[in-house]
Amino acid sequence: SVSVTINDKKVKVPREYTILNAAIEAGVKIPTLCHLDLHDLKMVNRTASCRVCMVEVADSPRLAPACATPVKDGMIIRTDTYRAIKARRTSVELLLSNHPTDCLICQRNLKCELQSLAKELNVREIHYSGKRNKYHLDTSSQAVIKNQDKCILCRRCETACNEIQTCGILSALNRGFDTVVGPAFNLPMVETSCTYCGQCVAVCPTAALTEVNHTRKVWKALHDPDKYVVVQTAPAIRVALGELFGMEAGSLVTGKLAASLRRLGFDQVYDTDFGADVTIMEEAKELIDRLENGGRLPMLTSCCPAWVSFIEHQFPDMVDIPSSCKSPHIMFGTIAKTYLAEKMGIDPKKMVVVSIMPCVAKKAEAARTELSIDDHDNVDIVITTRELGDMLKEAGIDFDKLADEDYDHPLGESTGASVIFGTTGGVIEAAMRTAYEWITGEELEQVEFHQLRGMDGLREATVDLKGREIKIGIAHGLGNARQLLEDIRNGKSEYHAIEIMACPGGCIGGGGQPYHYGNDEVVKARQRSLYKEDQGKKIRKSHENPEVIKMYEEYLGEPFYGELAHKLLHTKYTP
Ligand code: HC0
Ligand code: SF4
């Protein structure tokens, strides 16, 4: 280790630390903007492009960027000199001189890192004026909007897209004042192989990359007397929404969530978890079918739309490995417009299904025509956790003061297995709970498969089904997924089943979740809460969900093999 002094405070830190790391250790705050360090998720952006973290180093004539300057033994650093403070403010002023100042009507208003920094550094005037860039707004995709005018060239999105997701969509084009970040030839997003994972959106400090906002569409449906509006909430919403109302990261707010949706005016309030239980009924049967009838192995879970798009674009020769199951929220939409509509005597054409998702790609998924049945969509509108937060605020709902309420029935019952869908490893654990009992014919006493849990990007484990070993691979983050798929393609790894989630952490780290502002503790707290909710559930295996069992008996027939089950709940992939 080395010894450094920051603002008169001496600290001993590891040799590989930067001044910024050492300052954190010393309890000294240095403002940053382009810097990003999600250590556990391996997402680190160290471009030192914004020059906001400038500090004084003794015996050095020039200021140094703290985020990119390594410590040296005996280094004496000051962060609080007039020169350093002024330099930091100047950096922000320069950024603002080429930035639209329409904060009041910006999608990131009060959630923008540039805006908070301007306040923190006491910027009251912009001393530099000059030419401003004016670019075309890219609204070509169903999921992501790119507004280059608001880009500050921090390159965080490039790190997320290229290093973590290995999608290579976003990179710097042109030079100097004309530099922009975008797809090759600055093509519209829709013409690229963007997966819409939304990780670029999750790390963008401004509104240069945002989700397509669908809140107005939801309001319109809610106020249309001819529409019957059904809402469903993804597993990962309940452990994140509270953050938008000042609650601790990972706060479990399932009951308040259901209550808040009723206050907004939804006619029926349901849980995607029900759809997740149905998915396990189908997926576990499909796995057993493949295992017993010499089918294609490994079977890959198919609930994450960003990775479905990734495999279609990048591994077209492998589109026979995903399960044919539609994702849980699409299954739910289909069930709502068939089984539920029939049961309630509602015309499915009057029904609007809204999904609240932690995900940006779900917006594009819901628009995929091959998932629609009988001329109407299964899911009509998808909004993110953040958009729901905005709607609740707009409606003046005091979220944290709401009393808990339950979901509606008959599609509101769910199990612990479905709750953990929201974290990496959860879908495959849920599938194993059911496959174990169906394959062995015995009761599974210990439902928690700890070997499948964790935050490592690539994991493998074996599940022992009474002498029959099931080899499992798990990846989250598309770069890890790429490695897993390549190893399978090259015959380096042999698995029976694999789970892939595009976003680091799984849906809890989705591109539509409340911003984590570079703190990976937030994602870990959400993961702990999902496991906690699972633990507290009376029923923890999908095939024991009584409402799911009843629906199969009354309507769908046998899981996977039943005619209606197959028609409504499965899909095909096109390379
Ligand atoms: Fe997920 Fe899902 S678990 S993808 O991560 O499978 O978005 O939360 O809703 O559909 O259930 C996201 C989360 C879902 C789906 C479920 C799956
Ligand atoms: Fe890259 Fe995902 Fe952003 Fe598309 S949505 S540009 S794949 S990070």
Tokens of 189: 């997003």
Q: Which pLDDT does position 374 carry in this prediction?
A: 66
Judgement on whether residues 30 and 69 belong to the same structural domain of the protein: yes
Judgement on whether residues 204 and 223 belong to the same structural domain of the protein: no
Judgement on whether residues 398 and 498 belong to the same structural domain of the protein: yes
Q: Which pLDDT does position 512 carry in this prediction?
A: 98
Judgement on whether residues 292 and 415 belong to the same structural domain of the protein: yes
CA of 152 to the centre of ligand 2 (A): 17
For residue 508, the domain's CATH number is 3.40.50.1780
Tokens of 555: 């309507």
Collect all residues with Cβ–Cβ distance below 8 Å to 134 and sequence separation of at least 6. Answer: 149
CA of 155 to the centre of ligand 1 (A): 28
Judgement on whether residues 528 and 379 belong to the same structural domain of the protein: yes
- As for how many domains the chain has, the answer is 3
Give me the torsion for CA of 209, 211, 217, 219, rounded to 10°.
-100
Is 109 a member of any domain?
no
Judgement on whether residues 208 and 223 belong to the same structural domain of the protein: no
CA of 362 to the centre of ligand 1 (A): 9
> Ligand 1, closest atom to CA 361?
7
Whole-angstrom distance, CA of residue 12 vs CA of residue 21 = 11
| Best probe residue, ligand 1, of 304, 310, 423, 429 (max atoms within 8 Å of C-beta) | 304
For residue 38, the domain's CATH number is 3.10.20.740
| Best probe residue, ligand 1, of 199, 327, 427 (max atoms within 8 Å of C-beta) | 327
Q: pLDDT tens for the chain, 575 residues: list them.
A: 999 999 999 999 999 999 999 999 999 999 999 999 888 888 889 888 899 999 999 999 999 999 999 999 999 999 999 999 999 999 999 999 999 989 999 999 999 999 999 999 999 998 887 778 888 999 999 999 999 999 999 999 999 999 999 999 999 888 888 888 999 999 999 999 999 999 999 999 999 999 999 999 999 999 999 999 999 999 999 999 999 999 999 999 999 999 999 999 999 999 999 999 999 999 999 999 999 999 999 999 999 999 999 999 999 999 999 999 999 999 999 999 999 999 999 999 999 999 999 999 999 999 888 887 665 678 999 999 999 999 999 999 999 999 999 999 999 999 999 999 999 999 999 999 999 999 999 999 999 999 999 999 999 999 998 888 999 999 999 999 999 999 999 999 899 999 999 999 999 999 999 999 999 899 999 999 999 999 999 999 999 999 999 999 999 999 999 999 999 999 988 77
Please list, residue by residue across 36-73, b when 16 or more beta carbons sit within 10 angstroms of its beta carbon and e when fewer do.
bbbeebbbebbbbbbbbbbbbbeeeeebbbbbbbebee
Is 235 a member of any domain?
yes
Give me the torsion for CA of 373, 377, 382, 388, rounded to 10°.
-110
Judgement on whether residues 61 and 189 belong to the same structural domain of the protein: no
Does the Cβ of 203 fall within 6 Å of ligand 2? no
Could you list the active site residues?
A: 283, 286, 303, 323, 362, 365, 370, 507
CA of 501 to the centre of ligand 1 (A): 9
Assess contact for 179 and 173: CB atoms under 8 A.
yes
Does the Cβ of 142 fall within 6 Å of ligand 2? no
> Ligand 1, closest atom to CA 426?
3
Phi, then psi, of 58 in degrees rounded to 5: -55, 140
Does the Cβ of 307 fall within 6 Å of ligand 2? no
Ligand closest to the CA atom of residue 476:
1
Judgement on whether residues 139 and 159 belong to the same structural domain of the protein: yes
Q: Whose CA is nearest to atom 17 of ligand 1?
A: 303
Q: Which pLDDT does position 39 carry in this prediction?
A: 83
Is 320 a member of any domain?
yes
Q: Whose CA is nearest to atom 1 of ligand 2?
A: 161
Judgement on whether residues 205 and 263 belong to the same structural domain of the protein: no
Q: Which pLDDT does position 375 carry in this prediction?
A: 55
Tokens of 256: 């308040």
Does the Cβ of 197 fall within 6 Å of ligand 2? yes
Expressed as residue numbers, the domain containing 22 is 2-97
CA of 387 to the centre of ligand 1 (A): 17
Sheet holding 76-78, edge to edge: 9-13, 2-6, 76-78, 54-57, 64-65
Judgement on whether residues 155 and 298 belong to the same structural domain of the protein: no
CA of 561 to the centre of ligand 1 (A): 24
Q: Indicate the residue type of 532.
A: K
ipTM of predicted assembly, 2 dp: 0.92
For residue 195, the domain's CATH number is 3.30.70.20
C-alpha to C-alpha distances, 533 to 239, 357, 419, 436, nearest whole angstrom: 9, 18, 7, 22
* Residue recorded with tokens 């705050």: 29
Is 112 a member of any domain?
no
Is 574 a member of any domain?
no
Is 104 a member of any domain?
no
**Boundary residue ending a domain (157, 189, 212):** 212
Is 118 a member of any domain?
no
Ligand closest to the CA atom of residue 168:
2
**Boundary residue ending a domain (178, 212, 246):** 212
Is 177 a member of any domain?
yes
Judgement on whether residues 310 and 355 belong to the same structural domain of the protein: yes
Among 347, 335, 340, smallest CA distance to 373 is for 335
Among 53, 130, 145, smallest CA distance to 96 is for 130
**Boundary residue ending a domain (159, 189, 212):** 212
Q: Which pLDDT does position 466 carry in this prediction?
A: 87
Judgement on whether residues 53 and 194 belong to the same structural domain of the protein: no
